[in-house]
Structure 1
Amino acid sequence: MTLYLIDMAGVAVFAVSGVLAAGRKKLDLFGVVVLALVTAIGGGTLRDVLMDRGQVFWMTDPTYLVVITVVALATVQWVKHRPTPDHALELADAAGLAFFVIGGARIAQDAGLPGISVVVMGMMTGVAGGVVRDVLTTEIPFILRHRQLYATAAIAGVVTYLLLGRVGVPNTAAGLIGMATTFTLRLGSIYLGLRVPAFDYGGPPDSGDRGAAEGTGTDPD
């Protein structure tokens, strides 16, 4: 699977998540397309700016913007006539995360960055678009929601990809396994309640912790 196809698949599924987030907030059609765009290009834009790659990817290739817009409008029509599955937004976001973390990691790797920088760049490429989407819709970003496997899932996917490459697994296979790792961990967090262990230094719990302990706290998933 080429970097171009990975990037294109990533922007497509992140566009879907942007549309679903816009639908939850009942935005107009213009707002839907805008949210789909910023969700889909946010991570890649941050990646290109931080790596000083020259022009940002969607500026040099407007095909990305066309694909995002078409996918957004098609998703609007689809959800009008089909029931939206449970956790549809979270699933679309998980797929986008899986594609973008590996796409970002491979671009960083091809640029000759050291391993730790590849991991950080892959993670940031994957999470940034979703953070922008959630901030614009006044939601707590998935990366900050109570101990969810999100950035952790992204990091695990990139580390898996790099380790497999070190032992001689071809890039395509290693990338697919890395994507599957990220996506599977996100599914585990969404459906099985897998969480990152909490850091407790022994101080008094805040009101959110007390509410969760008493069964009054809420979890969006």
Structure 2
Amino acid sequence: MVVGIFAASVSAAYYPYIIEDFHNSAYQDLNRRVQMAFNVIQAIMIPAAVGLIILGFPLAKLLFQRGNFSLRDAQVTGTLIRAYGVGLFTAGLSMLYPRLYYTTGDTSTPMKIASAGVIFNIVLNYILAFPLGLGALGLALSTSITICLNVILYHVFIRGKIPHLTLRPCLQPMIKSFIAATIMGIVTYSLYRFLPMRDMYTLLNVFISAAVYGLLMIVMRHPVAGELIRREI
């Protein structure tokens, strides 16, 4: 997905500076960069997840319903998009955390976590898809759950590897993102319910929702919005 590419780009952009700060023992600068990368990822991924969960079906219809791809296919795909949307935020973070390990020269820990995640995902795939009868939806949910678990493990085991590393200052911006995304979600759902089910109205909904979210981020003085405004100025 485009949002996944965005998260990978953010992580890759900050990575050289994080390495430089680590080798120069500039841990305060490193901490600041990691926090900013975290804030950028969550500021994009949280509203994107809300949007995908609400607009899974109309987006699938807009993007894929052509030729032999029927309305029923779009409905099934929309359900899968919603399931993947649940894990979108942590999917973005999963592209940042391994690079923190690589910065310290530790490549084995993220490999072990990823390997454990693969095994867990296979087991959960089977449980959700067959005994619980969720089929393809179970596979999508399993992937989202596994990514969440991986990120939790990444966060737990990174402690102590980088001096003074803390993400506590990211809590307040993340709460602001959740509040803004919740309000945006209400707007998105309201437009989804009352606008005609046509592709042009789906695009209109996306643009209006994005504008509402961006405005709320500015009003609440989210650090990412502030940084973007300063760069524009």
The higher relative CO (CA closer than 8 Å, separation ≥ 6) is in 2
**Which of the two has higher C-alpha Rg?**
2
Q: TM-score, normalised by structure 1?
A: 0.40
Q: TM-score, normalised by structure 2?
A: 0.38
